[in-house]
């Protein structure tokens, strides 16, 4: 699978979960907990394969995107810390929905920048075969992703 297609598929999966969260009723605590647990799993895995495989490969193959990549890592840093807080937070906590809302704003902004501003440059610079090979490596690496958001490298960067 093409690396950028794989990452965009992940983005779509996460966006679907965000929409589910937005539709869940205020008092649907169990449902919101389940959705947020899925969001955490998806985003930790996605962040992990981007940081371990895609970002380093893009930096090497499309050096012009370096500033975008550095900014993206800083955005991941904020997101994984929010995920680690949400993992422990009771959905009845008055700050829970607010924290999920800010998480969603952050992720949507981040995804838009990846998809609109610099993934196209990576595609242009790296070409089909290389992206295919990186996609295969990412697909395999998904099973090695940590469960703890703070085990992702940008957490301590
Ligand atoms: Fe990202
Ligand atoms: Fe992404």
How confident is the model over 148-153, as a mean pLDDT? 97
pTM over 0.95: yes
pLDDT over 70 (residue 34): yes
CA of 111 to the centre of ligand 2 (A): 6
In this structure, which residues have their CB less than 5 angstroms from ion ligand 1? 50
CA of 16 to the centre of ligand 2 (A): 14
pLDDT per residue over 85-135, tens digit each?
999 999 999 999 999 999 999 999 999 999 999 999 999 999 999 999 999
DSSP characters for 76-144? HHHHHHHHHHHHHS-TTSTTHHHHHHHHHHHHHHHHHIIIIIIHHHHHHHHHHHHHHHHHHHHHHHGGG
Residue with tokens 């996460």: 14
DSSP characters for 27-50? T-HHHHHHHHHHHHHHHHHHHHHI
CB-CB contact of 107 with 43 (8 Å): yes
pLDDT per residue over 69-88, tens digit each?
999 999 999 999 999 999 99
CA of 47 to the centre of ligand 1 (A): 6
pLDDT over 90 (residue 157): no
CA of 27 to the centre of ligand 2 (A): 31
How many Å separate Cα 50 from the centre of its chain?
Answer: 8
pLDDT per residue over 4-19, tens digit each?
999 999 999 999 999 9
CA of 3 to the centre of ligand 2 (A): 11
């Amino acid at each position: 699978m093409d690396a950028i297609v794989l990452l965009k598929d992940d983005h779509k999966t996460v966006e679907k979960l965000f929409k589910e969260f937005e539709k869940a009723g205020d008092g649907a605590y169990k449902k919101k907990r389940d959705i947020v647990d899925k969001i955490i799993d998806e985003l930790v895995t996605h962040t992990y394969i981007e940081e371990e495989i895609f970002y380093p490969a893009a930096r090497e193959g499309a050096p012009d995107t370096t500033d975008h990549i550095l900014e993206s890592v800083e955005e991941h840093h904020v997101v994984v810390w929010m995920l680690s807080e949400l993992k422990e937070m009771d959905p009845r906590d008055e700050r829970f929905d607010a924290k999920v809302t800010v998480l969603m704003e952050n992720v949507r902004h981040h995804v838009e920048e990846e998809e609109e501003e610099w993934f196209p440059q990576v595609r242009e610079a790296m070409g089909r075969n290389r992206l295919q090979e990186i996609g295969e490596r990412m697909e395999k690496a998904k099973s090695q992703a940590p469960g703890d958001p703070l085990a992702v490298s940008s957490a301590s960067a």
